[in-house]
Amino acid sequence: MENPENVIEVRNLEIDFHTYAGEVKAIRDVSFDLRKGETLAIVGESGSGKSVTTRSLMGLLAPNAEIKKGSIMFHGEDIIKKSEKDMQHIRGKDIAMIFQDPMTSLDPTMRIGMQIAEPLMKHKGLKKKEAVAQALEMLKLVGITDPEARINDYPYQFSGGMRQRIVIAIALVCYPEVLIADEPTTALDVTIQAQILDLMKDLQNRIDTSIIFITHDLGVVAGMADRVAVMYAGKIVEYGTVDEIFFNPQHPYTWGLLNSMPTLDTASGSLRAIPGTPPDLLDPPTGDAFAARSDYAMKIDTEKQPPFFKVSDTHYAATWLLHPDAPKVTPPAEIVRRQKKFAEMQKPEAPFAHTASKE
């Protein structure tokens, strides 16, 4: 491990999918770290590769996926090189996962107590009785009311929000070091979303776990994450702390994402979208993949892949706009407004710094 604070270090990961049409380059040279106790959000639109990246951490890639290059270091060992058998001992114990749709991710024919107890029996060698007793504690922890009575219920007897609490209980029952949450609130309605996010934050503190939070919902990211990585077309294009990404974004794609996020001040009837569609990853573009959709694209963007430029110690962005020779451009008005706020936040004891980050 390069840094003892890192739980996971992903380096130069490249994943292809073999399809009838050819090789889809789903993940192209992705590197990131997950630090102990932090929440790292991976943001991007559908097909940007955020789910594939995290599946590779679990060793749960589809059979037609192939890891071409790179390493995923966990406890000083490369997960990619591990056998299926070894991965079974990591999954659910050290690295656990929460899925998107709680309505379909529980086994409809097994009592929920047993479903929560299963990882304990597998990883801690507990007998059924002890495991179910611990499952009961877990049910209490995730806020299921009357857990003694409900532990023997079946999934269909719970609402969507309650089911997601149960899925969280399953994921956390072995106190994993890393929790991967793959759009855990997308299928829930907004009030329930907030409850589930609060619950996750609360449990993160108690269990001391690091979270990788995958989402396309920037509103959720703001309240949840410590750091954010923005993915586009199989690459990370920008990463930094949540304040840096929200208030001092550098990559035109991040601008587009933030710009398309409706806020309370957004004039009615003016939802802004990013024009165009993501590139075909069967044949990814040579330069900056976002160039074709960007108003700020330069000639070099279509010719050469931009490297990461340092914005601060924690903030990097892969855009030629940060090159010293690049012309000065003015981002969209909304982004300028955010950057102004960011400048205020940088002043010592900025009165609105805390509330602003909650936006």
Partner 1 sequence: MRKYLLKRIFYLFLTLFIVATVTFFLMKLMPGTPLQNEAKLTATEKAAILAQYGLDKPVWLQYFIYIGGIFKGSLGLSFQFSDQAVSYLIGSRMGPSMQLGGQALVVGIILGIILGAIGAIRKDTWADRLATILSILGIAVPSFVLAILLQYYLGLKTGWFPVAGWEGFAYTILPTLALAASPLAETARFIRTDMVDVLSSDYIELAKAKGLSKFGIVYHHALRNSLIPMVTLIGPLAAALMTGSMVVENIFSVPGIGEQFVKSILVNDYPTIMGVTIFYSALLCLLLLLTDIVYGIIDPRIRLSGNGD
Tell me 300's DSSP state.
G
Binding flag, residue 50, partner 1 (CB under 8 A)? no
Closer by beta carbon to partner 1, 29 or else 94:
94
Query: Could you give the CA distance from residue 307 to residue 287 in angstroms, rounded to a whole number?
Result: 10
Q: Does 157 bind partner 1 (CB under 8 A)?
A: yes
The full length of the chain comes to: 359
Nearest by Cα to 278 from 295, 263, 262, 294 = 294
Total interface residues for partner 1 by CB under 8 A: 30
Under 8 Å CB-to-CB from 152, ≥6 apart: which residues? 111, 113
Q: Which listed range, 42-50, 114-122, 236-244, 339-347, lies at the site for partner 1 (CB under 8 A)?
A: 114-122
Residue 68 buriedness (CB in 10 A; 0-12 / 13-18 / 19+): middle
- Selection from 138, 202, 127 nearest residue 151 by Cα: 138
Is residue 12 close enough to count as binding partner 1 by CB under 8 A?
A: no
H or E element in which residue 19 lies: strand 6-19
Please give the single-letter amino acid code of residue 166. Answer: I
161 near partner 1 (CB under 8 A): no
d(C-alpha 297, C-alpha 291), whole Å? 5
CB under 8 A: which stretch of 4-12, 34-42, 86-94, 132-140 binds partner 1? 86-94
Nearer to partner 1, 180 or 261 (CB): 180
Kind plus residue range of the DSSP H or E element containing 24: strand 22-35
Tell whether the torsion through CA atoms of 146, 149, 152 and 155 is positive or negative.
Answer: negative
CB of 124: closest distance to partner 1 in angstroms?
A: 11
Given candidates 50, 93, 315, 341, which one binds partner 1 under the rule CB under 8 A?
93
Among 29, 37, 82, 154, the residue binding partner 1 under the rule CB under 8 A is 154
Query: How many other CB atoms are found less than 10 A from the CB of residue 299?
Result: 10
Among 34, 41, 96, 139, binds partner 1 (CB under 8 A): 96
Instruction: For residue 334, state whether it binds partner 1 (rule: CB under 8 A).
Output: no
Does position 19 interact with partner 1 (CB under 8 A)? The reply is no
In 10 A of CB 128, how many CB atoms? 13
**Beta-sheet pairing, 39-43 with 227-232:** parallel
Which range, of 115-123, 242-250, 308-316, 340-348, touches partner 1 by CB under 8 A?
A: 115-123
Residue 101 interacts with partner 1 (CB under 8 A): yes or no: yes
From candidates 19, 64, 104, 312, binder to partner 1 by CB under 8 A = 104
Q: Identify residues 59-78 at the interface with partner 1 (CB under 8 A).
A: 60
Residues 6+ apart with CB under 8 A from 316: 238, 239, 240, 308, 309, 310
Contact range with partner 1 by CB under 8 A, out of 38-46, 101-109, 214-222, 314-322? 101-109
Please select the residue that binds partner 1; options are 24, 58, 132, 230, rule is CB under 8 A.
58
Bridge partners, residue 275, by sequence:
none
x-marked contacts with partner 1 along 226-265 as a string, rule CB under 8 A: ----------------------------------------
Q: For partner 1, which stretch binds (CB under 8 A), given 117-125, 270-278, 338-346, 349-357? A: 117-125
**Residue 159, interface with partner 1 (CB under 8 A)?**
no
Q: Which residues bind partner 1 (CB under 8 A)?
A: 58, 60, 87-93, 96-97, 99, 101, 104-110, 118-119, 122-123, 154, 156-157, 167, 170-171
